[in-house]
Amino acid sequence: MLQPIIHYGIHFGLPLVIALLFFKAFWLKAYCIMILGILIDLDHLLADPIFAPNRCSINFHPLHSYYAIVVYLILLIPKKTRLLGLGLTIHIIADITDCCLM
Ligand SMILES: [Zn+2]
């Protein structure tokens, strides 16, 4: 019961906290861009079965591989892609937490 709350709490709550703390002037826009990080879950559609409750997505799905994670971390460096990188990194943190709780 606790696991989905923590998972979605990180997915939707952490971007909000970061947006309000660091991007006050345009927090809503920042929040929306970070929420887009959830789109990388589209790679689950490539998996069979699409949804498995006890499967750790990290390093299973292509957009959750260690190579992809390195790219997300690099996106944090340039100012232009930082928000996108943050959204993707937060997504990975949420998924890693999920794996730890399994
Ligand atoms: Zn995911």
Q: Tokens 């709550």 map to which residue?
A: 13
Q: What distance in angstroms lies between residue 17's CA and the mean position of ligand 1's atoms? A: 20
Give the chain's domain count: 1
Asked whether the predicted pLDDT for residue 66 surpasses 90, the reply is yes
pLDDT tier for residue 5 given thresholds of 50, 70 and 90: very high
Which comes out higher in pLDDT, residue 76 or 50? 76
Q: What distance in angstroms lies between residue 35's CA and the mean position of ligand 1's atoms? A: 12
pTM, full prediction? 0.90
Residue 63 is part of which domain span?
A: 2-101
In contact, 89 and 40? CB cutoff 8 Å: no
Residues 16-42 have a mean pLDDT of: 96
Q: What distance in angstroms lies between residue 57's CA and the mean position of ligand 1's atoms? A: 6
Q: What distance in angstroms lies between residue 47's CA and the mean position of ligand 1's atoms? A: 12
pLDDT tier for residue 44 given thresholds of 50, 70 and 90: confident
pLDDT of residue 2: 87
Q: What distance in angstroms lies between residue 2's CA and the mean position of ligand 1's atoms? A: 18
pLDDT of residue 73: 98
Q: What is the DSSP letter of 12?
A: I
